[in-house]
Structure 1
């Protein structure tokens, strides 16, 4: 009696005839069914196995979270890529450049992450007018086509590059109001990206920042030293983000002078006096903090009730 053809031989025969499936007896389900030529597995059993695994994933919270995280990551990668690609096209059109600068490919991943993280005016997948004021855009700190006054006339004085150092999330409303002015003397983020004197993260206050710190003390009772620490911490956060980008992208370490972190109160500030009754003479006690939290909660509830009534 001629021996029965093996499953592998049956698959080979089907492959030669141009078929992607062949009929054979399945030991798993005990019936003669179609099998895949590629891996010789039973088509019916493979589909049943896939259904069981899908059901298991649906009922497993950890598996659902893992899949949700993967989908969210892919979404942000795609939206970051599409937003950044569009921004690059707009930059070339505005500046008249035929191509991007030489180190642009090295910067793309970091810039895509910035664009992916922008806040959208949506609740779920639907636009929400109430969130419109929170919508963000990618702002070129130095405008793509920056204008300044030369000899009494407004002229184009600079072209801001499409780079990580020149990119920041900004409220869409403020970005549209910002215009294309190039004023590095008063806008620190239009200065070079470093912590040195004259840089974007120079710890020394600009004239406008100095005035604001003085007003916080004399009109609101906010201690000058506290304002200086807050100012330093904000600059340090932004500087670290750029320095980390440089380290990861270019393999360069940027050292920071320890004296940069010092907060010094100018002698003339010590003569300024706050209006009486401003600020806390000492740390507020737990009862005061609780009363303030209750008041704030009540105000929020009233605002929400008003919005619901509208």
Structure 2
């Protein structure tokens, strides 16, 4: 069974030089289904990382392993530079799936109960401080959980994760099911929480714009595989693009990506063999044809297209990474 990465030290003084999370070959199987496949992820300390992927890609499974709810089938992981997982979990707060709290209790009483269940001493000052921090002070404090809006419930769930002043927060799709106003409120809250010195946050989502507006690092999970990770940078100016059909579109996408082109299938094209979109500098169409010819693939038509994303943007990275996964036959077994 997988566990934490071996380390000669039983405890580690956590600094900005030590990653908040390191996983090595993390794998989780449910019967014959591989939910996570050899995921090796590094989360820098003091960052807010967006864990991206379509529904069912393995995001919740990964967070559940890190939070200690389920064990990995294989592989290792380390939290906050500590070899002792139990000690690291004492400094980790999590909200996996929706908050399950007592509907007949008020927000304040719910937080007091969770404080007691998690082994913390009764500390009303902490309860009131956290309610204020997540925007549930005032009249909301005494509202019963069953009468709270979805946004208020999410806020209270995040407050439970903040008990004990954790250095690491694991949040599973915190904006799902919220209206636009609620999404903005939770997004702003997560950014504020990420400003705490030394705190690291992983926020899973299937919404590109939420990650782009909230996070400073990203990781993309596709069909249980980690297909890309890195820092988010400022959005560069738009690039020119061509729409392309070839004698073998599926192979052409793989070849172009391997040659360093920013290419993807055209999501607006609903035919079975989708055309390709390739970002180029004006006048460089011949280079695309040349690179394809090396693999015995030839364009059947090529025409200018409005770019559907920005070169280097998160959308571009996501489509390129998922495109590589499709071409490479990444799948669950």
Q: TM-score range by the shorter chain?
A: under 0.3
Q: Give the structure with the higher percent helix.
A: 1
Q: Give the structure with the higher percent strand.
A: 2
Q: Which has the higher contact order (CA 8 A, sep 6+)?
A: 2
TM-score for the superposition, normalised by structure 2: 0.21
